[in-house]
């Protein structure tokens, strides 16, 4: 089995981290908005959340139930 997909996932994670830094820089350099009235600023906040969620999804190992482990942290006894 090749680890090609793993390198693509790592590249995606790296790209998302760069995007997060760019969005954070834009947010910190943005002139003070009128709360709730600045569409561009609100879009930056939305993008920051979407990027953070994507990073978390790539960094988190999802739980896949199997017959031997139906819930996270549990398993059936082997006899």
pTM (two decimals): 0.73
CA distance 26 to 63: 35
Q: Report the pLDDT value the prediction gives residue 77, as an integer from 0 to 100.
A: 60
| pLDDT band (50, 70, 90) for residue 78 | low
Positive or negative CA dihedral for 25, 26, 32, 33? negative
CA distance 47 to 30: 14
Q: Report the pLDDT value the prediction gives residue 16, as an integer from 0 to 100.
A: 98
C-alpha pair distances (Å), 67 with each of 12, 36, 74, 75: 32, 49, 11, 9
Q: Report the pLDDT value the prediction gives residue 2, as an integer from 0 to 100.
A: 59
| pLDDT band (50, 70, 90) for residue 75 | low
Q: Report the pLDDT value the prediction gives residue 33, as an integer from 0 to 100.
A: 64
| pLDDT band (50, 70, 90) for residue 14 | very high
């Amino acid at each position: 089995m090749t680890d090609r997909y793993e390198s693509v996932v790592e590249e995606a994670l790296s790209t998302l981290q760069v995007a997060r830094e760019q969005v954070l820089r834009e947010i910190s350099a943005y002139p003070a908005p009128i709360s709730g009235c600045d569409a561009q600023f609100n879009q930056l906040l939305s993008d920051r959340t979407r990027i953070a969620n994507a990073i978390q999804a790539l960094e988190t190992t999802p739980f896949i139930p199997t017959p031997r482990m139906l819930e996270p942290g549990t398993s059936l006894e082997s006899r």
